[in-house]
Amino acid sequence: MKRNSEKLFLEHSLFQTYYRKLLAASDLEQIAQYPQHGSTSRLLHCVAVAYYSYRFALFTRLTFHLEELVRGALLHDYFFYDAQDGDPAHKGHWSRHPAIALENAGQKLALTRIEEDIIAKHMFPLTGRPPRYRESVLVSLADKACSVYEFFRRRSPYQKLRQMMGSEQLSAGGRPAL
């Protein structure tokens, strides 16, 4: 049992390292101010999608590009507006936002082909073109699973994930970003 807990700790540490590297290189924490589903912030949603994609990738024992998987998942909803605010300019958001997120991420960071594919195709089949990489497929599935969970668990989703990630990340308003 001790061996499994040590392995899990190392896996969590590696995920947190990827997360912190991206935070240091971008303004990802700014998406915490926007709602995603229910009471879930966009940042918490992206962290959950990244974390569960990462955990599933480790579970499968297939070969994945883990850092690219985590980065692409963290950036898959990298847009800076409230899509639920009723603004007519946001009509068709659900099929257009992957291109917006990709453009935003590409302006801030150098992206790999895998990261670009994850961001651009995470809404398949709404976006038409299927994912090209297994990382993209995994993130697309995790995004759908997390969205359903957030919709039905509106009050306080991801309590264990919030605890694991700690509260060191604060939004500009002094509230926890997650």
Query: What is each CA distance from 121 to 34, 65, 113, in whole angstroms?
Result: 22, 17, 12
pLDDT value of position 174: 39
Within 10 A of 13 (CB to CB), how many other CB atoms are there? 9
Predicted local confidence at residue 170, as pLDDT: 31
Indicate the pTM of the whole model.
0.86
pLDDT of residue 163: 80
Q: What is the pLDDT of residue 132?
A: 97
Rounded distance, CA 67 to CA 80, Å? 24
What does the pLDDT read at residue 166?
74
Closest to 13 (Cα-Cα) out of 51, 44, 48, 46:
51
Stretches where the chain sits below pLDDT 50 are: 1, 168-176
